[in-house]
Amino acid sequence: MNTSEENVLLSIDERGVATVTLNRPETHNAFNQDVIKALTEAFNQVHQNDSVKAMVLASNGKSFSAGADLNWMKAMASYSLEENETDAGKLAEMFRVLYFLNKPTIARVQGAAFGGAIGLISCCDIAIGSRLSKFCLSEVKLGLIPATISPYVVKAIGARLAKRYFMTAEVFSSRRARRIGLLSETVSETELDSTIEDLLASLLKNGPEAVSKAKALVDFVDGKTIDSELIQATSSKIAQTRVSEEGQEGLSAFLEKRKPNFN
C-alpha cells in the first residue's frame, strides 16, 4: 500500500514486518509537508495494525534523507509565527508517533542523513548505517535550530555531544555516529539488508507483546531514581507479564522444551 502519491511507501510482508520507505530519491528524500503527512499516516497504520511485529524505516536512492526540502523551506520563510507553529507541530507529531510506536523499529541508513533525518534515526530503537554514510545537524547554518528533533537526539547521543553538533553543524562520519550512539552498528552498504534481516530474525522469535512492553519499559525506568516506588512498579510489571497469556505460553514452552506459539 502506498501513501501521498508514492512519496512514502508502506509494505507488510507475510512475517508481519512492515517497511516504510521514503521514496523521493530525486530530492535525496528531503522532507516537505506531504512527506511529513505521509510518514505520520504510515507510522500510525503500523502502530494500529496488530499483525505487524516490527518495522523497518528505509529510503530509496543514494541518501537516507537530506533533511528539509528547499521549496518547503522557501515557503516557511514567508509564514507567520502562527503558521510556523502549526507547521512545526505537524513535524513534531511525526517524530512523536515514530518514537512511541508500539513495535520495534529499525532504521536502515545509507548515504547522507542531514537535519531532520537524524531525528528519524534517533526515534528508531535500532539504527544500522552504512560505513560511507555522513551525518550533519545543519540547522544553525540557516540560522535555525533543531528544535523538534532535539528531545530524541539528546536522548540518543547525550546532552554534551548534542551541544557540540547542534552548534557546529559539522559533518561527521558513520564511525563517529556509531561511537556517540546515533547508530547501533555500521556495516558495508552491501551488508545493510542482511544485518537487518538477522535482527528481524531475532526479534520475530520473541513474544510480540513482551517485545512491545520491553520497549516501553526502557522509557518508564529511564531517568527515575531507583527507590521503593520504582522497585514496586517494576515488580508489578513482571508479575503481570508472568500471568498473561503470552507469558504463560512462553514459560510453558520453556519447561516443555518446545518452541513457543506466539502467533
pLDDT value at residue 71: 82
C-alpha cell at 35: 512527506
DSSP β-bridge partners for residue 113: 65, 135
Per-residue pLDDT tens digits of the chain, which is 263 residues long: 444 459 999 999 999 999 999 999 999 999 999 999 999 999 999 999 999 999 999 999 999 999 888 888 878 788 899 888 998 899 999 999 999 999 999 999 999 999 999 999 999 999 999 999 999 999 999 899 999 999 999 999 999 999 999 999 999 999 999 999 999 999 999 999 999 999 999 999 999 999 999 999 999 999 999 999 999 999 999 999 999 999 998 999 999 999 998 87
CB 166 within 8 A of CB 140: yes
Count of structural domains within the chain: 2
Do both 70 and 181 map to the same domain? yes
Do both 190 and 227 map to the same domain? no
CATH at 195? 3.90.226.10
pLDDT value at residue 5: 56
Do both 59 and 100 map to the same domain? yes
Q: For residues 205 and 263, what is the distance between their CA atoms, to the nearest angstrom?
A: 10
Residue 263 lies in a domain: no
Of the candidates 114, 113, 118, 112, which has an alpha carbon nearest to the alpha carbon of residue 95? 118
Of the candidates 147, 154, 39, 50, which has an alpha carbon nearest to the alpha carbon of residue 98? 39
pLDDT value at residue 1: 45
Residue 150 lies in a domain: yes
Cell 556517540 belongs to residue: 180
* Residues 6+ away with beta carbon under 8 Å from 22: 7, 8, 29, 35, 39, 58, 59, 60, 64, 65
Q: For residues 40 and 45, what is the distance between their CA atoms, to the nearest angstrom?
A: 9
Which domain range does residue 218 map to? 206-255
Do both 37 and 106 map to the same domain? yes
Do both 247 and 138 map to the same domain? no
Helix axes 81-99, 33-48, angle to 10 degrees: 30
pLDDT value at residue 3: 45
